[in-house]
Amino acid sequence: MKPLANLRVLELARILAGPWAGQMLADLGADVIKVERRGAGDDTRGWGPPFVEGADGKKLGAAYYHSCNRGKRSITADFEDEADMERVRTLARDADIVIENFKTGGLKRYGLDYKSLKAINPRIIYCSITGFGQTGPYAPRAGYDYLIQAMGGLMSITGIDEPTRAGVAVADLFTGIYAAGAILAAVHRRHETGEGAWIDMALLDVQTSVLANQAMNHLVSGEAPGLMGNAHPNVVPYQPFETSDGRAIVAVGNDGQFARFASILGVPELADDPDYQTNAARIVNRERLIPILSERTVRMTRAELLAALEREGVPGGPINNIAQALADPHVQARGMRVELDAPHVAGGTLPQVRGPIVIDGEPMVAERAPPMLGADDDDWEWRAI
């Protein structure tokens, strides 16, 4: 039995942050019922191409939707229909957890806000995910990942020639992960106290929090970090290097690794030079050091450099595209790609990238493919799946 097999989750969320949290809980065994607006459903069902092809040749929704809704059941509701809203409230009455990402206060008119649901289910753990949180001057605003990456400082330290967003919606994804963690903390507390909780997750809070060392660099130095391309603000050398036939990443994390890297390149004396002997010195003298190292790496092929790094215990690797990353032998050995039974999909299975959690040797991944819109409309009851 999976760890969360006895938890019931009502998901009133769409797009990515809320569904990502719900999928994580589903992977861990929770029974997740996703409520979608009748007709179009979750916005991401239309965020294609590419679209998943159905067994009947029709489109079953965008790949985007299928990336974050594994393991769930889908029911549809007209939010202006009181009978539908009463059915949703009935589900909430017996749910352990509600995840919602409506604008602040948006569910009050339907009797689905925290105060209303707490009145009928005092043990409810209610997780609200918004762009800016339940308080503060921006609370009423809608928040999207791209906007949050810009406002939260991430774009100012990402890119080479101009501020650049990350290639995936990291503010949404981090928020989903933090939300799942907060939910499980509230479940643990409920075991002790019997009390539910209202969790306030804001994308801007999360983005600000995960600035991590870059935020601390500013707090300590008083200076705002800027664009550094692929270099690292606190570690040198920690970047791509050109070889005779392509680029490779070298990630030197300590002085011993630097000594071995210098030896690989035929300049072992650099490790004893006071200008480069320590990481702090290498940061100060970065602009002189990197050309010296680069002049040596271009004499080697990428395969030669990577083999030498592996042999000497210096972290390094290729810059893979997504196809190459998924085809990597280690990624394959870890079983990161899975095939879920899906009779409604062309070919009968749906490929997925599983979540990263492994407990007692068992990868935590839901066995149910993402649901077709309204697939469970005929069954509004909580039941074993």
Average pLDDT estimate for 129-134: 98
Nearest in space to 304 (alpha carbons), one of 378, 343, 248, 253: 248
pLDDT at 384: 54
The fold for domain 8-211+333-363 equals: Rossmann fold (3.40.50)
Sort residue 320 into left (φ over 0), alpha (ψ -120 to 50) or beta: beta
Distance CA(351)–CA(105), nearest Å, equals 37
- In tens, the pLDDT along 330-344 reads 999 999 999 999 999
β partners of residue 51: 62
Mapped onto helix, strand or coil, the DSSP state of residue 37 is: strand
Average pLDDT estimate for 192-203: 97
Phi, psi of 361 (to 5 degrees): 80, -5
Average pLDDT estimate for 214-233: 96
Low-confidence winner among 16-20, 195-199, 232-236, 378-382 (lowest mean pLDDT)? 378-382
Distance CA(383)–CA(8), nearest Å, equals 9
pLDDT at 380: 77
**Is 172 marked active-site?**
yes
Reported confidence tier of residue 200, pLDDT bands at 50, 70, 90: very high
H/E run at residue 59: strand 59-62
Residue 55 pLDDT > 80: yes
This prediction has a pTM of 0.94
- In tens, the pLDDT along 153-172 reads 999 999 999 999 999 999 99
CATH classification number, 238-321, choose in 3.30.450.40, 3.30.1540.10, 2.60.120.560, 3.40.50.720: 3.30.1540.10
70-100 CB burial, b ≥16 within 10 A, e <16:
bbbbbbbbebeeeebbeebbebbeebbbbbb
Give start-end residues of each CATH 3.40.50.10540 domain in the chain.
8-211+333-363
For residue 169, give the amino acid letter.
A
Helix ranges (DSSP H) in the chain: 17-27, 63-66, 82-93, 114-120, 145-151, 170-193, 203-209, 212-221, 255-264, 279-284, 286-297, 302-312, 322-327, 329-333
pLDDT at 40: 87
Nearest in space to 364 (alpha carbons), one of 346, 338, 385: 338
Residue 322 pLDDT > 80: yes
Q: What is the DSSP letter of 364?
A: -
- Residue 14 contacts residue 74 (beta carbons within 8 Å): no
pLDDT at 37: 95
Average pLDDT of the chain, as a whole number: 96
Residue entry with tokens 């991401």: 44
Cβ count within 10 A of residue 380:
16
Average pLDDT estimate for 34-43: 95
- Residue 172 contacts residue 15 (beta carbons within 8 Å): yes
| Residue tagged active-site, from 172, 200, 205, 376 | 172
Residue 207 pLDDT > 90: yes
Give start-end residues of each CATH 3.30.1540.10 domain in the chain.
238-321
- In tens, the pLDDT along 236-294 reads 999 999 999 999 999 999 999 999 999 999 999 999 999 999 999 999 999 999 999 99
